[in-house]
Amino acid sequence: MALATGTTAPDFTLKTKNDEGLADVTLSDNFDKKKTVLLFFPLAFTSVCMKEMCDVSDSITAYNDLNAAVYGISVDSPFAQEQMAKVDGLKFPLLSDFNKEVSTAYDVCYADLLGFKGVSKRSAFVIDEKGVIIYSESSEDPHDLPNFDAIKAALA
């Protein structure tokens, strides 16, 4: 079961990749500055995952207006994620949880999805400026998109 609201969010540092190269992104860098939205998704380049990331990217201004940083997280390599971000024109970073440590810490790993072990469940977390989870959602069905209205309400 995904971490519940009221829980201190496990801090992490994950890799992202863009034209400038690999870079580290640390969750706690946002503390005392802005809220953070973490969107775990199963696999890069799958239709539902691409739709979710594109929908969020298309409305990134709304998240920025709510003073929130948005990150997509999957167990894919940062190199595959970079290509997905380019293909889809994403306006926020994708973070590689290749070692599955963050998905495990947030308790959002499938034991088995289509024969793949440890793939991230489609999940959403909103973390406040103090590092506390104020919204938590995780689905056993990889086709179910998060409730973006509820995510934005948690940010308001």
Classify residue 102 as left (phi > 0), alpha (psi -120 to 50) or beta. alpha
Catalytic annotation present for 49: yes
Strand partners, 133: 127
**Local confidence band at 140 (pLDDT 50, 70, 90 cut-offs):** very high
Q: Note the pLDDT tens digit of each residue in 18-37.
A: 889 999 999 999 999 999 99
Among 38, 43, 49, 127, the active-site one is: 49
The structure's pTM equals: 0.94
pLDDT tens by residue, 64-89: 999 999 999 999 999 999 999 999 99
Q: Can you tell me the mean pLDDT for 39-46?
A: 93
pLDDT value at 1 more than 90: no
Tell me the mean pLDDT in the region 33-53: 93
